[in-house]
Amino acid sequence: MQVAPPGLKGLIVADTTIGSVRGSEGFYHYREYNASELARTRSVDEVLTLLIDGALPPELPAIELGALRSIPDEVAALVDMMSTFTADSLSVVRAALLAIADIEGHKPVLDIDHEQRRADALRLVAVVPTVVARHYRRRTGLDPIDPDPTLSHAADYVQMATGETPSPLHAAAVEKYLVATIDHGFNASTFTSRVVASTGASVASALVAGLGALSGPLHGGAPGRALSMIEEIGSAENAWAWVEAKLDAKEKIMGFGHAVYRAEDPRGIVLREAAEDIGGDLAKKAVGIEEQILAKLAEWKPDQTIVTNVEYWAAVALGIAGLPTELFTPSFAVSRVIGWSAHILEQANDGKIIRPSANYVGPSPEAAAT
């Protein structure tokens, strides 16, 4: 047997046609398209069509999620009940997806054809923003807002969460965020979803597994902390001394450094553009603070390339667009379930179970027997 590197880092474990990340170049793609350009120019529904069906509209009819966003009354009641005792949106989404799958009779992927798997995936993808928004509003003492099928996926999400139809610029910022973060290589949650799908389990089970992986602080991250950092620093003039104190205390600088990218995170570039399109004090402050932090990090470790990651500009763009900080991490799930679904369908079509081995390093059983 071959021994894999720690964390499977650098190890190729599957073939995929969905996308890839080229970290040294600061580049990633969805199928054959530059993902950053898709985020700038295409809607969630269009990129969903690309990942699920294999081509962009108008080559294929665009998948429209609007009519699929409503949730059953039983699931609405479940979300309302859970909102009374948990602030964890991802746990509520996990419960809601499993409930919908049970109510609507979703079956293991092993027992259904591709078209039914696809239908199950689209239904579950569509309801995630509805569940996230309903949970947030119940937690804050507000009445939930039903989805509006005439709005785009991004605009409807913002409206259900905030109670206001977003301006075109605000909706565009959220749309760019959702498209930019749909997929990003074989990260922990994507791999987890594929492992579960490889067992023949239902689409819902595989998505819930992905959500479980995303809930870990080493993976899903916390863009809200990046926004809090910007607010704490206050201005570019304060950034140098603030970062120096954090580094001396060996504390993490939120929104900087990435496991893959050695050039600027292309997702961050798109979201910085979106924030600057809206403008305002926060966007200007974020630009100046970013410059100072990067300069200090370059002085601190001149032999390393430390870049701004997606969390920094995601926090700024989502905040400027009007989403509360409590929804930053759940918004990642609203986006990423699309990428997971594409991988789940691809893995289900493969039909092989993912079953690696472990290297036993404990006491010898022979020695224990004697």
Burial of 1 (C-beta count, 10 Å sphere; 0-12/13-18/19+): exposed
- The residue annotated as part of the active site, out of 153, 258, 290, 343, is 258
- The residue annotated as part of the active site, out of 311, 326, 343, 366, is 311
Residue 51 contacts residue 30 (beta carbons within 8 Å)? yes
Query: How many other CB atoms are there within 10 angstroms of residue 55's CB atom?
Result: 11
Query: What six digits make up the tokens of 148?
Result: 């509006």
- Identify whether 258 is a catalytic site residue: yes
Query: How many other CB atoms are there within 10 angstroms of residue 121's CB atom?
Result: 26
Residue 308 contacts residue 256 (beta carbons within 8 Å)? yes
Count CA atoms closer than 13 A to 335's CA, side-chain side.
23
Burial track 56-91 (b if 16+ CB lie within 10 A, e otherwise): bbeeeebbebbebbebeeebbebbeebbeeeeebbe
- Identify whether 114 is a catalytic site residue: no
Active site residues: 258, 311
